Amino acid sequence: MVGSSNTDLVARVPRMPRLGECLTGTSFEIGFGGKGANQAIMAARLGAHVTVVTRLGSDVFGDAYTRHYHDEGIDTGYVMFDEAWSSGTALILVDEPTGLNTIAFVAGANGALSAADIRAAREPIVTSDVLLCQLEVPLESTQESFSIARANGAHRPVTVLNAAPVPRDSLPDALLELTDILVANEEEAAFLAGRPVDSTEQALQVAAVLSDRWSCATILTLGPLGVVHANRGHPAEHIAAPTVRAVDTTGAGDAFVGSLGFLLATGNPLPLAVERAVRIASLTVLSSGSQASFPTRGEVRERLGW
């Protein structure tokens, strides 16, 4: 995984506060997050051998995160520390009645992950089966990662781009043309396609449009409605999510991407990998937190039977 590591500061509230309002919350906790780290942890808990390429601040959050990676069995040989920037942080409000959340993200050291850092981490990139990247680190670093992967010849990792968070400007075609699998939610897909994604039918159409545009498999995550996926030359397909009562949706999208990476690396064809990743992600909304809610491989076997 090449991407972000953030410390999550999570407050649960009885409702979302209005602008300018000070609202009393019901609980507070500090957890480990960041889209890249979440996806790496999910894949590792399912049994993948995971190496992270990431930057942390030289602070208490960075020290704690490194220990956390070790505890999760993740290779930290390419974790870099930054003296100039703090570790990345995410401030999260969770609406208790619905489990929905809002997030403010401060990149910190994540924003200092450079193309030179990526070139220094060439070995784990080219020896991986699946390379997961997101958009919480500089675009040039993600593009350099995919360029290295694509140029590797006989053993070429599958490049998976989670187009999140939605960028302020358009994503460069050069990056998307290096992408084997694009994963986006409704908002991100609408931005990329320049058209709304307000229904499953629109999602099917947009997935097909994006897949044709960049010759990559495209997956749109639709929250409780599941996902749609499309591959050039094949009709788009909708996979419904199991019906569950959500406690906290934080990290569910990352659980999907991390599960997808593990399932692809272990030889599952894309349609089956997508279907199984949806079901694993649905398990994570049943309890609070992002990584804290991610199941292990044994728990998946117990709950889902495979």
- C-alpha separations of 120 from 62, 78, 148, 160, 232 in Å: 20, 9, 11, 20, 34
Domain boundaries, the chain: 35-86+114-304
Cα–Cα dist 211/234, whole Å: 10
Element (H, E) at 58: none
Q: Is residue 254 annotated as part of the catalytic site, yes or no?
A: yes
Phi, psi of 230 (to 5 degrees): -140, 145
Q: Tell me how many degrees the CA angle 106-161-237 measures, rounded to the nearest 5.
A: 125
Q: What is the pTM of this model?
A: 0.91
Count other C-beta atoms under 10 Å from residue 106's C-beta.
15
What CATH number has the domain spanning 35-86+114-304?
Answer: 3.40.1190.20
Query: Which two tokens mark 99?
Result: 């489990």
Asked if omega into 157 is within 30° of 0 (cis), the reply is no
SS3 285: coil
Q: Which distant-in-sequence residues (6+ apart) come within 8 Å of 251 by Cβ?
A: 33, 38, 284, 289, 290, 291, 293, 294
Q: With beta carbons less than 8 A apart as the criterion, state whether 128 and 53 touch.
A: no
Residues in the chain, how many?
A: 306
What does the block give as tokens for 17?
């506060």
Identify whether the C-beta of residue 145 lies closer than 8 Å to the C-beta of residue 131. Answer: yes
Identified catalytic residue from 8, 59, 117, 254: 254
pLDDT tens, the chain, 306 aa long: 999 999 988 899 999 999 999 999 999 988 899 999 999 999 999 999 999 999 999 999 999 999 999 999 999 999 999 999 999 988 889 899 988 888 887 899 999 999 999 999 999 999 999 999 999 999 999 999 999 999 988 789 999 999 998 887 889 999 999 999 999 999 999 999 999 999 999 999 999 999 999 999 999 999 999 999 999 888 899 999 999 999 988 899 999 999 999 999 999 999 999 999 999 999 999 998 789 999 999 999 999 998
